[in-house]
Structure 1
Amino acid sequence: MSTALFEHLGMPERIREISGYDLYAADLRADLDALAGRSAGLLEAPVSMVSVLLDTTQFIIGSYGLSAWVAYARETPAEWAMCTNTVLAGEAFCVSDARTDPRHAENPLVRTTGLRSYLGVPLTGFGGHVIGAHCVIDARPRVFTDVDRAVLTDGAERVMRLLDGHRL
């Protein structure tokens, strides 16, 4: 992983902000899974996730449609996660076809999971840091629209309202 990536994701004030949430509250997981399912349904995508990124790891705190080892592990290395791009940009990040995109074609998640297209929007915490992302993933190439971004942004706002209810 690049030093710059580690330094940005590992900023102490950003990590403190993430630690201000009870991410393991029993009712939170079910609510986030339901929100991920809602976003997947509205955007006709087979997979949707809510993730939080620490310095080296993406933790999947809510999901719909995950399969294989990702569903079991519920985490990935940060350098593999498309959501890392969303967090670093602080705005929506879109990939229409990861297999033909030179930035992502060699990504192990693309090569092993069937991920082809991605749309993610940032989750901004109470202190103003981007703590994670809400995304949809498809196994087919696709072009996401401004309406798709708006739907996912609404989902991200709902995620943050849930997370705010679980602040420590």
Structure 2
Amino acid sequence: MRAQLHPKQSERLAHLRELGILDTEAESQFDEVVDLASKICEVPISLISLVDETRQWFKARVGLDAPETDLDRSICSHVILQHDLVEIADTTRDVRTADNPLVVGDEHIRFYAGVPLLSDGGLPIGTLCVLDTEPRVLTDLQRTTLRVLGGQLMRQIELRLALHQAEVLRGEIDHRVKNSLQTVLSVVRMYKSRVDNAVAIEALSAVERRIDAVAMLHQELYQTSQSDRVALAPYLVRVASLLEASAPSNVRLDMNVCAVQVVSSTAANIGMIVSEFTANAIKHAFPDGRRGTVTISAELSADGATLQVHCRDDGIGNANPAEENEVTRLGQRLMQAAALQIGAEFTLEAQSDGYHLLMKMPMRAASSVGQAAE
């Protein structure tokens, strides 16, 4: 006997499609549910059956080879007309199932129990069901378990949709942020190309570096599953790579940053400091084609309570200090202010073997720590 259509069939099918779960690949969290249901109910077959317009499709299954069946073979299409667990102790004695091909055919199904998967609005999309080739009766514990598993399963399916929608929204926001940053960068570069004053060009270059650093931070935030924490090592590598691309062939960058996660505001300040130091070193530390290296390192103290960031170059140092201008002094003040914002001790010195910047900050903001990564 084929089941009647659900009274809210159109709405039910619309919600099923909205969930985006039909014809998706197998997922372990669903496979585990049917495996558990089969074992607890001591039956050979368990299914997560989604009742579509002309078929029932199995999101997860044990004990049955077919990935779907037509509705003429569907017992679950009867169950979605109910609001609670349906148990058929002997399928040959129930009018809904006595002539079902699964019962009279080679599958020899003699027992069925299923709980409808109901949305918050009460719309059923399918069932969690268990089947056997022998008549039987479930225990109270088995019935309760099926009801609980069905409820949890529906929450899991709806959470899956919510996460997908959040990812789509996040992607849209990411696209708009990227476009906005690119627009600002284009304006800065246009002004930079039309300015003759060296100090103004350097100031615009500093603004350009800061925007690039923000874009890199945004990229790291988008790629992580944690909303406000980023991995420091790949972020600093991204920031430095932009500067290295514009560096002359005689200057090399070397980075060794431990694997640590910090909140985005901390990463932004560290990124700005590293960016300013590296840009100044590239510009001033290696005159007349002198070969040299800018080294950036970040390491944790033995107790993991402090992060030490060391930026240094092996350039001319205090042997022939570059003439300072207002932009250079502003850059130094910005680095000091950035260090102050994250509660870090900050020193910047010109020594005989080059410039050295040392920053020590407490790691209360860190979320996880790993091994060193270069």
- TM-score between both structures, scaled by the size of structure 2: 0.40
Match for residue 147 of structure 2 among 144, 153, 164: 153
SS at match of 1:128: coil
Match for residue 137 of structure 1 among 128, 131, 150: 131
The question of 1:103 aligning with 2:68 is answered: no
Q: Are the counterparts in 1 of residues 43 and 131 from structure 2 also a CA contact under 8 Å?
A: yes
- Residue type at the aligned position of 1:57: R
Alignment of 1:43-122 (within 5 A): 43-66=41-64, 71-72=65-66, 74-112=67-105, 113-122=107-116
Once residues 141 and 54 of structure 2 are traced to their aligned partners in structure 1, the CA distance between those partners, rounded to angstroms, is: 32
Q: Are the counterparts in 2 of residues 56 and 79 from structure 1 also a CA contact under 8 Å?
A: no
Which string of whole-angstrom CA distances, capped at 9 and with x for unpartnered residues, describes residues 69-107 of structure 1?
xx23x1112232111121012221111111233432221
Shift of 1:152: 0.5
Alignment of 1:12-51 (within 5 A): 12-23=10-21, 24-26=23-25, 29-51=27-49
Which string of whole-angstrom CA distances, capped at 9 and with x for unpartnered residues, describes residues 38-89 of structure 1?
11011111110011112321111111121xxxx23x1112232111121012
User: Of Structure 1 and Structure 2, which has the larger fraction of its residues in helix?
Assistant: 2
Q: Are the counterparts in 2 of residues 91 and 121 from structure 1 also a CA contact under 8 Å?
A: yes
Structure 2 runs not aligned, ≥5 long = 166-374
- The structure whose RCO (Cα within 8 Å, separation 6+) is larger is 1
- Residue type at the aligned position of 2:108: G
Aligned to 1:165: 159
Q: Which has the larger radius of gyration?
A: 2
* Cα RMSD, aligned residues only: 2.1
- Residue type at the aligned position of 2:113: L
SS at match of 2:131: strand
- Residue type at the aligned position of 2:158: D
Once residues 162 and 25 of structure 1 are traced to their aligned partners in structure 2, the CA distance between those partners, rounded to angstroms, is: 15
Aligned to 1:5: 4
- Residue type at the aligned position of 1:46: P
**Identity over aligned pairs, percent:** 30
Q: Are the counterparts in 2 of residues 10 and 54 from structure 1 also a CA contact under 8 Å?
A: no
- Residue type at the aligned position of 1:139: T
Once residues 47 and 103 of structure 1 are traced to their aligned partners in structure 2, the CA distance between those partners, rounded to angstroms, is: 19
Once residues 56 and 146 of structure 1 are traced to their aligned partners in structure 2, the CA distance between those partners, rounded to angstroms, is: 34
Once residues 140 and 120 of structure 1 are traced to their aligned partners in structure 2, the CA distance between those partners, rounded to angstroms, is: 16
Q: Are the counterparts in 1 of residues 24 and 59 from structure 2 also a CA contact under 8 Å?
A: no
Shift of 1:10: 6.9
Once residues 103 and 127 of structure 1 are traced to their aligned partners in structure 2, the CA distance between those partners, rounded to angstroms, is: 26
**Which stretches of structure 1, 4 residues or longer, exceed 6 Å deviation after superposition?**
none
Q: Are the counterparts in 2 of residues 78 and 84 from structure 1 also a CA contact under 8 Å?
A: yes
Q: Are the counterparts in 2 of residues 114 and 139 from structure 1 also a CA contact under 8 Å?
A: yes
- TM-score between both structures, scaled by the size of structure 1: 0.84
